[in-house]
């Protein structure tokens, strides 16, 4: 049985490839922060499971509670109140390299390892959840801030363009992601 695909629009191959690349850039940018947090939770869960054994149902809920508390604490600190958590301000443009996760995930994993080594009880589960979330969010924000500062130092305006030139393809700036924290577009 043959798989039928919809016909491609009648566009020049170069134009179609450029549109694909733009959508690919947007997909990567929109996935940056969630992808990093997924890496953080999975690897940290592996560390604490190795140290504590397979969690009971209650310990899994404690891990979840710790992660939610960490998110609420960092979010409240960032927004000044709990009510501002779900209404983020307009995000600045961030170069794509700001979404590389080695510092943020690496430090969160280190935090999980430290808590797992120091706390030998069920209390480790919510503590790891809290610590990894707080570390990941705080460090990824620092990475985005550094990336944004680099952009500003290069003379780009708030739209990611230099006053005398347009954005060049491959610049790491991604259009269409202005309302998503941690993306490369903010304008």
Three-class secondary structure of residue 68 per DSSP: helix
The answer to whether residue 121 sits within a structural domain is: yes
pLDDT of residue 53: 95
Alpha-carbon torsion 118, 120, 121, 125, what sign?
A: positive
CA 72, CA 79: separation in Å to the nearest integer?
Answer: 10
Domain count, the chain: 1
Q: Average pLDDT in the 60-66 region?
A: 95
Residues 186 and 158: beta-carbon distance below 8 Å: yes
The answer to whether residue 98 sits within a structural domain is: yes
Per-residue CA distances from 161 to 27, 106, 133, 158 (Å): 21, 32, 33, 7
Task: Read off the pLDDT band of 10 (50, 70, 90).
Answer: low
The answer to whether residue 47 sits within a structural domain is: yes
CA 94, CA 183: separation in Å to the nearest integer?
Answer: 6
Q: Average pLDDT in the 29-51 region?
A: 90
The answer to whether residue 163 sits within a structural domain is: no
Residues in the chain, overall count: 187
The answer to whether residue 23 sits within a structural domain is: no
Q: Which of 16-20, 97-101, 128-132, 158-162 has the lowest mean pLDDT?
A: 158-162
Residues 135 and 108: beta-carbon distance below 8 Å: yes
| Average pLDDT for the chain | 77
Regarding predicted confidence, which is higher, 2 or 124? 124
CA neighbours closer than 13 Å in the CB half-sphere of residue 101: 20
pLDDT of residue 26: 80
The answer to whether residue 187 sits within a structural domain is: no
The answer to whether residue 108 sits within a structural domain is: yes
pLDDT for 171 beyond 70: no
pTM greater than the 0.85 cutoff: no
pLDDT digits (tens, 9 = 90+) for 111-137: 999 999 999 999 999 999 999 999 999
Per-residue CA distances from 73 to 33, 64, 78 (Å): 18, 14, 9
pLDDT of residue 21: 87
pLDDT for 109 beyond 70: yes
pLDDT for 3 beyond 50: yes
| Full domain range(s) for residue 147 | 28-153
The answer to whether residue 176 sits within a structural domain is: no
The rounded percent of the chain whose pLDDT value lies above 70 is 66
How do the residues of the chain divide into helix, strand and coil, expressed in percent and rounded to 5? 65, 0, 35
pLDDT for 172 beyond 80: no
pLDDT for 149 beyond 60: yes
């Amino acid at each position: 049985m043959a798989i039928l695909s919809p016909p491609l629009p009648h566009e020049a191959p170069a134009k179609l490839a450029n549109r694909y690349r733009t959508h690919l850039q947007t997909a990567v940018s929109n996935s940056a922060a969630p992808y990093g947090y997924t890496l953080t939770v999975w690897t940290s869960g592996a560390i604490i499971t190795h140290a504590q054994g397979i969690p009971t149902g209650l310990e899994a809920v404690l891990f979840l509670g710790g992660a939610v508390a960490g998110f609420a604490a960092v979010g409240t600190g960032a927004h000044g109140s709990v009510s501002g958590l779900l209404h983020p301000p307009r995000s600045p443009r961030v170069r794509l390299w700001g979404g590389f996760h080695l510092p943020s995930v690496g430090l969160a994993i280190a935090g999980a390892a430290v808590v797992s080594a120091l706390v030998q009880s069920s209390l480790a589960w919510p503590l790891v959840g809290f610590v990894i979330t707080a570390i990941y969010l705080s460090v990824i924000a620092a990475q985005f801030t550094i990336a944004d500062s680099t952009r500003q130092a290069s003379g780009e305006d708030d739209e990611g363009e230099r006053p005398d030139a347009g954005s060049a393809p491959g610049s790491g700036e991604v259009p269409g992601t202005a309302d998503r924290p941690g993306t490369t577009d903010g304008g």
